[in-house]
């Protein structure tokens, strides 16, 4: 039986560039840097963001982009500021999927190594409630 999420690892070419993303956008704090001493497959850095352990490991990134992604919870009031931070790093913002009103807003963006991130304002309970209500009388909105 699982007890929760242990950690998320991202494989990247440039640890410094990934650190800039994690610190600037996710507010992560670096807690470990292997330097030239590796205990794993390659150089790595560990971060903590929102109580989550995030690992960045040096290596060959994904060869192509997919919709596989990690979604981080954000507050709606922070949406526009985080979007500006993402754009200031020169990262590609992906067009969001169609959403029904009431399920939250999302920002999807790729890092430089084809990893897709989502910053989402909603919760699972909010989404389940909204889906249970159906789409009656409400239009579909396009996320940013």
Q: Is 81 a catalytic residue?
A: no
Helix 15-26 to helix 79-88 angle (10° resolution) is: 160
| 19, 44, 81, 138: the active-site residue | 44
> Pairing state of beta strands 29-33 and 92-94?
unpaired
Residue of 98, 120, 99, 100 lying closest to 109 (CA atoms): 120
Catalytic residues, by residue number, are: 44
């Amino acid at each position: 039986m699982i007890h929760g999420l242990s950690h998320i690892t991202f494989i990247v070419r440039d640890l410094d560039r990934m650190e800039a993303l994690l610190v600037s956008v996710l507010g992560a704090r670096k807690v470990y840097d292997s330097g030239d001493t590796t205990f794993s497959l390659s150089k790595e850095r560990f971060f903590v963001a929102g109580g989550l352990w995030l690992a960045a490991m040096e290596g060959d990134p994904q060869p192509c982009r997919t919709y596989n992604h990690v979604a981080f919870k954000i507050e709606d009031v922070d949406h526009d500021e985080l979007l500006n931070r993402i754009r200031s790093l020169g990262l590609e913002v992906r067009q969001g999927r169609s959403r029904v009103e009431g399920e939250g807003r999302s920002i999807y963006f790729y890092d430089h190594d084809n990893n897709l991130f989502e910053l989402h304002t909603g919760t699972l309970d909010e989404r389940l409630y909204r889906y249970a209500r159906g789409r009656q009388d409400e239009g579909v909105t396009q996320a940013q």
